[in-house]
């Protein structure tokens, strides 16, 4: 009888450990992203924080920056409110699917001048691919 109790208590402890580790892993992987309107509405509260911002790459806004490394500047707009815009600077390899008019999520830091310095660009894939004509 005492042996069964030990196995039962051991099994419960293992289940609790697995559950708590799963919860912590999920919580760490779930990262919230702001819209352009939310970032502009927050003002200086987000300066210097590592955040993600979702928006649409404004057509005609992508321009290369002349530095020693690959760098671009572009503008993100809020998909619901096209009047809100945010300038983004990025250094690094640009994803192949990154195009003007596509949705993108940028991760990085907003500086005091209002420029978002992106460390990573995540391009949202369209839900339906259309072949070239």
For 30, the token pair is 């779930």
Write down the number of H helices and E strands in the chain: 2, 7
Residue 12 lies in a domain: yes
38 part of a folded domain = yes
Answer whether residue 114 is part of any domain. yes
Tell me the CATH number at 102. Answer: 2.40.50.140
68 token code pair: 């020693």
Residues 19 and 1 in one domain: yes
- The 10s digit of each residue's pLDDT in 45-80 is 888 888 899 999 999 999 888 766 678 999 999 877
- Domain match, 101 and 86 both: yes
107 in the same domain as 59: yes
- Domain tally, the chain: 2
The yes-or-no verdict on residue 36 having pLDDT over 70 is yes
**131 lies in a domain?**
no
Q: In 36-47, which positions are buried (b, 16+ CB within 10 angstroms) versus exposed (e)?
A: bbbbbeeeeebe
Cα(55)–Cα(102) distance, integer angstroms? 9
Note whether 81 and 20 are same-domain residues: no
48 & 89 share domain: yes
- Other Cβ atoms within 10 Å of 103 Cβ, number: 15
Radius of gyration of the chain (CA): 22
The model carries a pTM of 0.69
Token pair 């927050």 in the structure block, residue: 42
Q: Is residue 46 part of a domain?
A: yes
Q: Which residue has the tokens 């192949």?
A: 96
- Residue 31 CB: number of other CB atoms within 10 A? 11
The per-residue pLDDT for range 98-125, each reduced to its tens digit, is: 888 889 999 999 998 889 999 999 987 7
Q: Are residues 107 and 78 in the same domain?
A: yes
CB 76 within 8 A of CB 56: yes
Grouping H, G, I as helix, E, B as strand and the rest as coil, residue 55 is: strand
- Is residue 128 situated within a structural domain? no
Residue 102 belongs to domain spanning: 34-123
Q: Are residues 70 and 13 in the same domain?
A: no
> Does residue 133 lie in a domain region?
no
């Amino acid at each position: 009888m005492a042996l069964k109790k030990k196995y039962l208590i051991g099994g419960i402890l293992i289940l609790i450990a697995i559950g708590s580790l799963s919860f912590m892993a999920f919580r760490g992987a779930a990262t919230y992203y702001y819209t352009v309107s939310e970032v502009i509405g927050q003002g200086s509260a987000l300066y210097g924080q590592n955040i993600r911002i979702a928006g649409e790459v404004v057509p005609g806004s992508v321009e290369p920056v002349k530095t020693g490394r690959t760098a671009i500047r572009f503008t993100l707009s809020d998909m619901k409110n096209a009047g809100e815009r945010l300038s983004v600077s990025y250094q690094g390899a640009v994803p192949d699917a990154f195009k003007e008019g596509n949705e993108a999520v940028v991760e990085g830091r907003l500086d005091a001048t209002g420029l978002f310095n992106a460390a990573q660009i995540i391009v949202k894939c369209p839900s339906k691919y259309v072949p070239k004509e």
